[in-house]
Amino acid sequence: MAERKSFLLRLPPALLDELNRWARDDLRSLNAQIEFLLREAVRRRRRKDFTYGEADEEDDAS
């Protein structure tokens, strides 16, 4: 299994409650839910950055 690093995460109680409900709805632990959300955010950011990079290259070619 890949090495994992721990760190302290401080969240407002309302946000923590909402994340716990969401995790239960998705049948995940809170930790797994937060990891899933972070991975999705990184994946979307990479896709968005890649799309912008392509548009910039096309503009430069004109």
pTM listed for this prediction: 0.70
Looking at the domain assignment, is residue 39 inside a domain?
yes
Looking at the domain assignment, is residue 7 inside a domain?
no
Residues ≥6 apart with Cβ < 8 Å to 32? 23
Looking at the domain assignment, is residue 15 inside a domain?
no
pLDDT of residue 16: 98
Looking at the domain assignment, is residue 3 inside a domain?
no
Looking at the domain assignment, is residue 48 inside a domain?
yes
Domain count, the chain: 1
CA distance 27 to 59: 45
For 23-48, write each residue's pLDDT tens digit: 999 999 999 999 999 999 999 998 88
Residues ≥6 apart with Cβ < 8 Å to 22? 33
Looking at the domain assignment, is residue 23 inside a domain?
no
Per the CB < 8 A criterion, the answer to whether 57 and 50 are in contact is no
Range of the domain at 44: 28-62
